[in-house]
Every structure is written in structure tokens, then in C-alpha cells.
Amino acid sequence: MQARRLAIALATLGLLVSACTAPAPPSASPPGEARPAPAPAAAAPVTVATAPPAPMRARLSFSSISGIGLPYWTAVEAGLFARQGLELELSYSAATAVIGALIAGDVDLATSAGAELVAANVEGADIVAVAGTLNKVVQAFMAGPGVGEPAALRGRQIGVTRYGSLSDFSARYLLRNWGLQPETDVAIIQIGGLPEILAAFAGGGLDAGMLTPPQTLQAMDLGYVELANLWSQPLEYPGSVLIARRPTQPEQEELVRRFLRGLAEGVHLVRTDRDVAIRALGVGTQTSDARALGATYDIYTPLFERDLRLSREALRTAVDQLAATNPRAASADLDRMIDSRFVDELARSGFVERLYAR
């Protein structure tokens, strides 16, 4: 009796399962024709997840509020870092403070010129360039009324921000190209900053000096002319470098990868959408001067590296610059200061090529 009840229960369970899972009945076959075997069920299509990656916090510190920031600000304004799953926090400090904050772990990434990277490595810091957006110096040699050619600079006063700075290096580079010896044929005067150089121009205290766009436009309004600019010279220099503590942990490496994808998209957007880029530049520099914004965009945009690759030759120039005042820099190891894994991966993935193929 117990066996009979168990058999009935199992049969009932089988009917319930069949009722829940049985497919719709096939159409009837003509009489006498064998019904074809049912085709195997097609595999369900694989759906690729399109949800954004889990958010990661990324703290970035800038050392310059200028056209150098265009790709970063444009990427922020367009939500390109957010699309890569990054919650970005921006801060601004002087170059030395930026590098100090990076070494201390107060920020995850920093942008600065290559000289600061070299100087920190010479002192033993384990920080590396993971990308570069600019391999040029964006400064111009501006000369006042009566100085229409380099030969007329003899005996004149040339303004730079401070001795050993990029403006000092740039002025000396151009002077030597013109056959003039700094401090012998001309006097190089340390002023303090680019706004101070412009103020000295307005007060008639300098015959010439180094400025960056768009301050060059203000100098032109004062009657100064551009004798030369560095971005059209063959000289390569790490004008803007993305620096990190040497990435060794998976989470840190993933943060760098995501950031570079967002940054590469930012460079692409700058190059392809002038209006969006100029709007972002205005937000980043806190200016609404249309002439200044347009001139800055026009000068910087062609110079940005679409593949984010820092030139070794550019970094070598920064090493030579520092070695002039710190002999220990002459033996600095370029390979130790560049971690190209991430831009190499980006190139192999075809990410950048796909951006420009749209």
C-alpha cells in the first residue's frame, strides 16, 4: 500500500513539472507522415553588460591654470571620466606642492612639467610619468618697442619668472640660438611670475620677457611683439606630464587605465569640438574673454598628443635643464622615470584609433 501511494505521488509530481515546463504543442503532422524530431533549443544570445564600472575615487592635482588643462577640463565637463567609473576630485597648487602631495599620498595623480618629475626622482622619490599630453614648451619671447629683431636685444633686460624655471630655460635657449650670450650680451632679470612680467611690461621696466598665451595678447596690446615662440621650435620638452606614485597594486593600475581612457577621449573632444572645448576652458580658467579663449585653444590644440605618449627626447631635455643647476640630475635614469605600460596597452587596444575613426 505504501509503495502504491509513493508511485502515485511521483506520477503527480511528474505531471506538475511537465505542466510548468512543457513547450507549446507543435502543429499536427499530416496523417501517415512521421513527425520530425524537435530542433534543439537555440542558445540564448549573450548580452554584454553595458553598465558603467564600479566607481573609483581619483584625486588629481594641477600645477598650472592655463591651456595645458584643456583636455582635463573638457573631459570633466563632458563627463568622460565619470563614464570610465571615476569620481574625480580636482585641486590646484604650485608645482612643488603638487609633487609633495603626490609623494605623501594626498592625491593619486598629478599634472606638472617634466622638470618637477626629474627633480623629485633625483631626490629619491619613486614617482613616474604614466602619460604626457604635451611635448612642447608653450611660451613666447615678447619684445618691447624698439626691439624688432634679436640683434637689438644686446644690452637689454629680459624678464623671467625665476632662475632655473622653464621661462628662464626657454629664454636662454632662444638667446643662444640667436648667437647671444645670457648675462653677457643681455641681462636676465628674475621677476617672480608671469603676471609680474606683464606688469613690468606695462610699467616699462623690462625690454623683453617670456610669456604664455593668452598673456601674450595683453603684451601685444601694450605694443610688444613676438620675436619667437617655443612651440614652433624643434625643441621637445615635457610641457605637461601625468605623474603617479609607481603603480604596483591592481587597484592603482586600474585607476590609471580608466583615467587614461577618459583623458584620451578628452584630447579627442578638444580636437573635434571647438565649442565644447572653449566652454570647458572658460570654466577651468575662470575667464569669459572670447579673444583669449580662442587664441589659447588655437595654439594648444594642435600640440596635444592624441596617444598620450611622453617623448623620451622631451624628458631628456628636462634632465639637461635640471643638470645645469644640479649635476646629480645628469645621471638620472629615464627608464626609471617613465612607466609606459598604460599608454602601450591603450595603443594595443585600438581605443584611440576607434575614437578618431568615428
- The tens digit of pLDDT for each residue in 104-127 reads 999 999 999 999 999 999 999 999
- pLDDT at site 323: 93
Residue 230 has pLDDT above 50, yes or no: yes
Tell me which H or E stretch contains 215.
helix 215-221
CA angle 185, 190, 195 (to 5 degrees): 120
Neighbour-count burial of 19, counting CB atoms closer than 10 A to its CB (0-12 exposed, 13-18 middle, 19+ buried): exposed
Tell me how far apart the alpha carbons of residues 164 and 211 are, in angstroms, rounded to a whole number: 16
| pLDDT of res. 59 | 97
- Least confident segment among 30-39, 90-99, 127-136, 180-189: 30-39
Q: What pLDDT does residue 33 have?
A: 40
Model confidence pLDDT, tens digit, residues 300-357: 999 999 999 999 999 999 999 999 889 999 999 999 999 999 999 999 999 999 999 9
Superfamily for domain range 56-135+237-356:
Periplasmic binding protein-like II (3.40.190.10)
CATH for 140-229? Answer: 3.40.190.10
Q: Please, which pLDDT band fits residue 30 given cuts at 50, 70 and 90?
A: very low
Query: In the 8-state DSSP scheme, what is residue 308?
Result: -
**What does the block give as the cell for 288?**
569669459
Can you give the pLDDT at residue 32?
A: 40
Residue ranges of the chain that CATH labels 3.40.190.10: 56-135+237-356, 140-229
Note the helical H segments in 45-131.
Answer: 70-77, 80-83, 95-104, 114-122
Please report the sign of the dihedral spanned by the C-alpha atoms of residue 162, residue 167, residue 171, residue 172: positive
Mean pLDDT of the chain: 87
C-alpha cell belonging to residue 26: 507543435
pTM (two decimals) = 0.82
Contacts (Cβ under 8 Å, ≥6 apart) of 290: none
